[in-house]
Amino acid sequence: MNTDKDQKQAPAKAGNEWVALFDGKTTTGWHSYGRKTVASAWKVEYGVLHLAADSKAYGEDSGDLVTDESFEDFHLKLEWKVAPGGNSGILFYVQDQPDKYDRSWKTGPEMQLLDNERHPDAKIPNRKAGDLYDLLAGAPDNANPAGEWNQTEIICDKGRLQFYQNGENILTTTLWDEHWKNLIAHSKFRDYPDFGTFRLGKIVLQDHRDEVWFRNIQVKKL
């Protein structure tokens, strides 16, 4: 079992300072997709951001959580865990334009967050925890079980994309080149012409109708 104190991180890059995207007390700096406020299903509890998908509030008021600020080149790091059977994701370069795109995932790529042991998506290629959802698999498969914290880092730097999970570099690829376009053409996103084309956009915590928790969310502009 991995512990927080033993986990490594990607090498820090000189430049702007780390900025907390979540202050541990409020949802300041965030809003729900297509709205100005945060859906009530997102709760702040003891320094943790929790999508309470098992609550009455969820059915009444829910949705993806979106940063107020947009990011170009960035280094994001956070910790997450899902409930048994849970599914969520971290999306980036999302365009918050619900009049044009009814779902956040129609514009922004996603790092999958998943209970690999129980969720059926884990049996589908490129859909395990840490994968670039439906595009590329991460390796090694080192996600902790449901209910345990995982450490994640996403680095987008001049078209070079890196995923770190629990201290290991599990995926590196290049955005926007011919290989990238070919990956999209052979994925579920092939029918969405704007998907994966943006170089500036929002960071999104996905509401996939399952309980998920986030903490220690930080970003550095590169």
Tell me what pLDDT residue 57 has: 61
Give tens-digit pLDDT for 78-110.
999 999 999 999 999 999 999 999 999 999 999
For 60-84, the pLDDT digits (tens) are 788 999 999 999 999 999 999 999 9
> 36-55 burial string, b = 16+ CB within 10 Å, else e?
eebbebbbbeeebbbbbbee
Coarse DSSP helix, strand, coil percentages of the chain, rounded to the nearest 5 percent: 10, 35, 55
6 class by beta-carbon count within 10 Å (0-12 exposed, 13-18 middle, 19+ buried): exposed
Listed by start position, the domains of the chain span 64-221
Q: How far is CA 116 from the centre of its chain?
A: 16
What is the CB neighbour count within 10 angstroms for residue 25?
A: 8
Q: In the predicted model, what is the mean pLDDT of the chain?
A: 93
Q: Give the pLDDT mean for 160-189.
A: 98
Digit-coded pLDDT (tens) for 185-209: 999 999 999 999 999 999 999 999 9
pTM: 0.92
Picking from 21-25, 50-54, 64-68, which range would have the lowest pLDDT averaged per residue?
Answer: 50-54
1 confidence band (pLDDT: 50, 70, 90): very low
Tell me the mean pLDDT in the region 32-48: 95
Which pLDDT score is estimated for 55?
66
Architecture category of domain 64-221 in CATH: Sandwich (2.60)
- Whether the per-residue pLDDT at 2 is higher than 90: the answer is no
* pLDDT 10s digits, 119-155: 999 999 999 999 999 999 999 999 999 999 999 999 9
Indicate if the pLDDT at residue 15 is higher than 50: yes
pLDDT of residue 89: 98
Identify the pLDDT of residue 16.
75
pLDDT at site 131: 98
